[in-house]
A and B are shown apart, each in its own frame.
Chain A
Amino acid sequence: MRKISSLEYLSMSKANRAWYKFCSFFANLPAAIGRWFRSLPEKFGKLGAKIGGWFGGLWDALRYGNWKTRMSALIWGFGCFAYRQIGRGILYLAYEIIFVLFITLFGAQYLGKLGTLGTVQQIRDPDTDLVLVMGDNSFEILLYSMLTIAVLVFTVVVWILSIKNAYQNQLGYSIAKRAASGKDDIGQLLNHRFHLTILAFPSLTLVVFTIVPLMFMILVAFTNYNRNTLPPANLFTWVGFDNFAAVLTGQAKGLSGSQDAGRWSYTFWKILGWTLEWAVLATVTNLFLGMIVALLINKKSIKLKKMWRTFLVTVVAVPQFISLLLVSKMLNNAGIYNSILYNLGLPTVDWLHKSAPLAKFIIVVVNLWVGVPHTVLTCTGILMNIPDDLYEAAKIDGANPIKMFSKITLPYMMFVLGPSLITTFVGNINNFNIIFLLTGGSTGLADSRLATQAGDLDLLITWLYKLTVNGQQYDVASVLGILIFIVVAFFSLIVYSRIGSVKNEEDFQ
């Protein structure tokens, strides 16, 4: 796209300016993404320098340390014992012993099989099914390998700490003739290093309950872990990018499960399309309708403002899933709407099962009912914060209401609503409740080309849920999880980095 000067820009008509802005946003998108990627090496460089600096300390300690310090690399805490730092020494040594026991008795057997995820098949007596050889358990191998790797990383950190500690003792002893005692340590942990004390346990749980399972689940995407390979009676193994290829291109061979790869990709793209369609529709309709209602309520001539707001808040106050289950009953074949139609002598409509477009329309409308109050409340807050003098000044200058809206109200609102729009959009991509509780993800007129568990109204997130909970198709579900993350991250990063409230933070007020 041709770059134009400010003079040229200013000489354009309003419509042209808006169009120019719109086009330049998309024209600049590749460059912006490129810039971000180009800045990556620098970012990594900085990170590397930090880590490198830390390891540098280790190098110094080993190079300039005396024999006691160097001995600490083998017998942890040796440097502490040598300088009468008994407490720390015991801790280091105890950790080393526990670590060695952990690896030999537990970690090694799993880590050693990580490459194949197990090769020994379960053997049972053919006459009684008595288990003779339990066999390898791929699930445990993968999970405990992750745990072992986490422990290994932590151990390397402790090992370096112990050597550095010994080196510090060596340096400190030559000056003060005394190393920090256990009492000093405890004192420190309760005072200026209290953050370590308080964060130790949460960090541990974070690693064990979040990071290790997360790693596990990401790695499942590269295996054939599904209902046909459930351990321990069966083994599963690495399949590389097969699952991704099947879901994205439909080309992969050898994806286990009863379905051909083409079916997965057909389903994925179809569901992704509807997911994005839905997210845009839901976000835009909610925004505009919410804004209109908020403006209406905020109009000076409207009476009983508080009452109207209370009505809206009531919708928010009722838990969403209760509202949705109720609405799904109302939309039922013989629900209230059909009863009314029936009593009026009109033909009844099977709202959610007649056709996909109708069902989608209904979903968007129901979502308006559930979502508009939220937007109205936010907008009301913003509207009440816009200084009246701006409007008065505009009025004196002869601006009409439309002008005032487009020049004062809208910019104000968009400035604040921008970031929340992203949240809403991302929230809608993953809007499990409304799709699942209202429709179960399907009109019941399902397309037989869809892969297992998928319905024609499913979002990626509801399909993922059904795949794991009902289908035991963990491999594909994991791929979907990763792809959802990518989609969400893509939209969030792009939009977030381009909106006014982030770029021109000071502009507000």
Chain B
Amino acid sequence: MKKTWKKILCVVMAMVLVAGIASVLSACSQKVILVWGPDDHKEIYMEYLEKFAAEHEEELAGYKFNYAGSGDAGAYDAMATDPRSGAGVYTFANDQMANLRNLGALAVVSGANLTWSESNNIAAAVDATKLSDGKSYAYPLQADNGYYMYYNKAAFRGTAIWDENKKNVDGTMGDLKDGYTFREMYAALQAQTGTEGYAGHPVTTWNKGVVTWPMGDSWYDSGVFFAVGGDYNVAYDAKGKQTNADAWFGYTLPDGASGYRDGDFTIGKNAFECFKNSITLSNDSLAISPNYLYSDGSGFPLNDYITYYSDVNDAQHWGETPLAAAMCGTWKAKELQAAWGENYAATVLPVLENDAGQHFTMKNFAGYKHMGVNPQCSFVTSAPTDEAAARLNLLHELAQYLCGPEISVARYNKTGAGPANKQALEDPAVAADAALLALNAQYDRVCVYPEGYHGYEYEFDATENSDGTISYTRRLVEKKGGDPVGNGLGFRTQDSVPANYWTPIQNFANVLHQEIVDGKLDNFSESKIEQYLAQLQADIQAAAQ
């Protein structure tokens, strides 16, 4: 009996071994070109990949396409394991471009390919595919990442900031007036008459709709700093290693080891006041507007408000306050549209205001999604050099096909992804999308892009004062040839900064917010503000080292 068991055990083990080896071998013999993209785009991509494969049967002999969802944000992590076994063509968010290039996973787009890219896509998106060496490293796929304001028309109709004769971005009449500020928005909501509320929602007597703005999330907060003239710069060496980072949120002067001087915090002070004035009622007190709602970057509690709208009869919702406006990006468009129905509208961000009443246009980061070609993928590198060149070209052709008008419209219809392709943007459905139109309007105000930052730097003019001290004025000048920022890795996208670069900004806004909530007016004295800003400046420089 015992012996039988032993024999059976041996046979089973041998079978497992053989089966294991066999499966590994069969997996190796399959020749696959991987294509990576978001999970929810799988069906669309599979459809178009099959079409492409049918058109190029000869060149693709022995290979088949395999689509895997890596997510646009996860492309770098997935590629970092080994670019040779990674996707041949893949989508990614533009903040990963420098890192992907450093990995050798992005082929340069040049010659006829670049011509195609430039003639078929919107210029800002094509610009975003270029690193600071001026070369393009990807094809523009989506131009829809950024934030702007969604609002409920019913909440503002007939108020002081409402202009019935102004055209909304989607072409209908009636929109918020140009240059409305946060405080004007709050005042307009307070001025609403009647207690029945709007859109069938009850309104509490003291609060007639809230505006969510994610103050406390550095991605949004930086919009305030950009608005008042803050900036940052990151330099990389030829190997893609970060060598230097400067922040001009309270800006640095070229002299002195301390890096900044007392009294030179114009930018920071303006930012400080704009932050404060975006949530409080007046300059003299720190009373927070009841119409402002603290919301974090992950969409909390905005999501709850949207859920609230989706069930009109749910009056039990905490706060019982309707949502009047929300600052966020395209990812909430469909939900908000469903919630607000015909009152749904989108527009550019509000205007910021400092204590002196000076206005600043709020600017934000522009984000794009690109389609990259991986020159190290096995489909290319496993072939002899001359054939490899043809194969690399085929991948370029595929990338262009996947960025083309037809699939772009299909993608938009399925997921709401805003195309970068000119022809696709002319599609009637796309052209009428309020969210995309608002975004494009906001893009015109974008700070980082496309206003040509990577080619510029600050210069300081020194003038000697009568008392012997030196004061500086700052000028934006075009960068001269000279010292290059590496092999093109000095691209100034949002993620060209180290991850903990954001922490001080977030920290700053959180502390500020807390002080306002706690009503600590003492902390808003001149010297205290400077202390805050000096700390912020030091933290940013320390984090960026």
Q: Please, which residue of chain A has its CB at the minimum distance from the CB of B104?
A: A233
In the complex, A291 Cα to B105 Cα: how many Å?
58
Q: Which listed residue (A124, A126, A263, A334) contacts B104, Cβ 8 A?
A: A124
Fill in one digit per residue for A230-268: 1 if any B CB lies within 8 Å of its CB, else 0. Answer: 111110000000000000000000001111100100000
Cβ contact within 8 Å between B506 and A230: no
Alpha-carbon distance between A132 and B241 when the two chains are bound, in angstroms: 24
Interface residue ranges of B6-63 to A (CB < 8 Å): 6-7, 9-10, 13, 17
Indicate if A57 sits at the interface (CB-CB under 8 A).
no
A131-B381, A132-B385 as given contacts; A448 in contact with B500, CB under 8 Å: yes
Binds B, one of A19-27, A359-367, A368-376, A449-457: A449-457
Q: Binary interface profile of A, 323-350, with partner B (CB < 8 Å = 1, else 0)?
A: 0000000001110000100000000000
Q: Known contacts A132-B385, A230-B103; decide if A124 and B240 are in contact (CB<8 Å).
A: no
Map CB proximity to B onto A189-228 as digits: 1 under 8 Å, 0 otherwise. Answer: 0100010011001000000000000000000000000011
- Give complex CA distance A450, B539 in Å: 11
A393 contacts B by Cβ under 8 Å: no
8 A Cβ contacts from A446-480 to B:
446, 448-450, 452-453, 469-472
- When chains A and B are docked, how far (Å) is the Cα of A448 from the Cα of B497? 14
List the B side residues contacting A471 at CB < 8 Å: 499
> With the chains together, A446 CA to B510 CA distance in Å?
11
Q: How far is the CA of A29 from the CA of B539 in the complex (A)?
A: 43
Interface band, chain A: 35 or more
Chain B 90-110 residues near chain A, CB threshold 8 A = 99, 102-108, 110
Q: Does A127 contact B (CB under 8 A)?
A: yes
CB of B1 to closest CB in A, whole Å: 14
B134: interface (CB < 8 Å):
no
Closest to B99 in A: A227
8 Å CB contacts to B: which residues of A300-344? 332-334, 339
Residues in B with CB closer than 8 Å to A257 are 241
Interface assignment of A181: CB less than 8 Å from any CB of chain B: no
Task: Please determine whether B108 and A128 come into contact, CB atoms closer than 8 angstroms.
Answer: yes
Please tell me if A418 contacts chain B, counting CB pairs below 8 Å: no
Partner of B500, one of A131, A194, A201, A450: A450
Is A487 in the interface zone, CB < 8 Å from B?
no
Question: A residues within 8 A CB of B64?
Answer: none
Q: Is the CB of A131 within 8 A of B376?
A: yes
Docked CA distance A353–B99 (Å): 31
- Of residues 109 through 134 on chain A, the ones whose CB sits less than 8 Å from some CB of chain B are 122, 124, 126-132, 134
Contacts of A231 in B (CB 8 A): 82
Of B13, B108, B296, B545, which one neighbours A260 at CB under 8 angstroms? B545
* A258:B242 contact, CB within 8 angstroms: yes
Name the residue on A nearest B543 (C-beta).
A448
Q: What 1/0 mask marks residues of chain B from 484 to 511 whose CB sits below 8 Å from any chain A CB?
A: 0000000000000011100110110010
Interface contact B239-A190, CB-CB below 8 Å: no
B392 at the interface (CB under 8 A from A): yes
Asked if residues A258 and B498 are in contact (CB atoms below 8 Å), the reply is: yes
A197: chain B residues at CB < 8 Å are: 6, 10
Evaluate contact between B13 and A201: CB separation under 8 angstroms: yes
Q: Interface SS of chain A: helix, strand, loop or mixed? A: loop
The answer for the CA separation of A127 and B110 in the assembled complex, in Å, is: 7
Answer whether A233 and B107 are a contact pair too, CB < 8 Å, given A194-B6, A339-B318, A448-B500. no
CB contacts (< 8 Å) of A232 on chain B: these are 82-84, 104, 376
> Which residues of chain B are within 8 angstroms of A481 by Cβ–Cβ distance?
none
Given A129-B107, A201-B13, A256-B241, check contact A448 B7 (CB 8 Å): no
Secondary structure of the B contact surface, majority rule: helix
Contact A130 B388 (CB under 8 A): yes
| Cβ contact within 8 Å between B3 and A190 | yes
Contacts of B542 on A, CB cut-off 8 Å? 448-449
B507, closest chain A residue (CB): A445
Which residues from chain B contact A228 at a C-beta distance below 8 Å?
102, 239-241
Asked if B286 CB lies within 8 Å of chain A CBs, one says: no
A467, B490: Cα distance in complex, Å: 24
Give CA–CA (A450, B107) in the complex, Å.
35
**Given A127-B108, A258-B242, A227-B545 contact (CB < 8 Å):** no
Q: Is A419 positioned at the interface, with any CB of B under 8 Å from its CB?
A: no
Q: Is B300 in the interface zone, CB < 8 Å from A? A: yes
CB distance from B512 to the nearest CB of A (A): 13
Q: How many residues of B contact A (CB 8 A)?
A: 53
Q: Which residue of B lies closest to A200 (CB)?
A: B13
Report if A444 contacts B (CB, 8 A): yes
A-side contacts of B254, CB under 8 Å = none
Q: Is B80 an interface residue (CB 8 A)?
A: yes
**CB-defined contacts of B341 to chain A, threshold 8 Å:** none
Contact B376 A446 (CB under 8 A): no
Q: Which of A127, A131, A263, A445 contacts B388 (CB 8 A)?
A: A131
In the assembled complex, B429 has its CB within 8 A of some CB on chain A: no
Residues of chain A from 164 to 189 with CB closer than 8 A to chain B in the complex: none
Bound Cα distance A230, B83 (Å): 10
Interface code B294-311, partner A: CB below 8 Å = 1, 0 otherwise?
Answer: 101000110010000000
Query: Is B389 interfacial (CB 8 A cutoff)?
Result: yes
Tell me if B223 counts as interface (CB < 8 A to partner A): no
In Å, the complex CA distance between A126 and B487 comes to: 11
* B17 contacts A448, C-beta separation under 8 Å: no
Q: A130-B388, A132-B385, A333-B300 are in contact. Are A445 and B80 (CB under 8 A)?
A: no
Closest to A263 in B: B545
B518 to chain A: closest residue by CB: A347
CB contacts (< 8 Å) of B84 on chain A: these are: 232
- Bound together, the chains give a CA A470 to CA B498 distance in angstroms of 12
Q: A233-B102, A448-B500 are in contact. Are A128 and B239 (CB under 8 A)?
A: no
Q: Is B380 an interface residue (CB 8 A)?
A: yes
Inter-chain CA distance A256–B102, complex, in Å, is 15
B77, B99, B375, B500: which has the most chain A beta carbons within 10 Å? B500
- Contacts known (A201-B13, A232-B83, A233-B104); A452 close to B381, Cβ less than 8 A: no
Q: Which of A233, A333, A445 contacts B376 (CB 8 A)?
A: A233
> Please, which residue of chain B has its CB at the minimum distance from the CB of A197?
B10
6 pairs, A vs B, C-beta closer than 8 Å: A128-B108, A128-B389, A198-B9, A233-B105, A234-B104, A470-B77
A-B pairs, top 8 by smallest CB distance, nearest first, are A233-B104, A448-B539, A129-B107, A129-B375, A258-B242, A448-B543, A446-B503, A228-B241
List residues of A whose CB falls within 8 A of some B CB.
Answer: 122, 124, 126-132, 134, 139, 190, 194, 197-198, 201, 227-228, 230-234, 256-260, 263, 332-334, 339, 353, 444-446, 448-450, 452-453, 469-472
Contacts A227-B80, A332-B300 given; 14 further ones with Cβ under 8 A? A127-B111, A128-B110, A129-B107, A130-B385, A190-B6, A201-B13, A201-B17, A227-B99, A228-B239, A233-B104, A258-B242, A444-B507, A444-B510, A448-B507
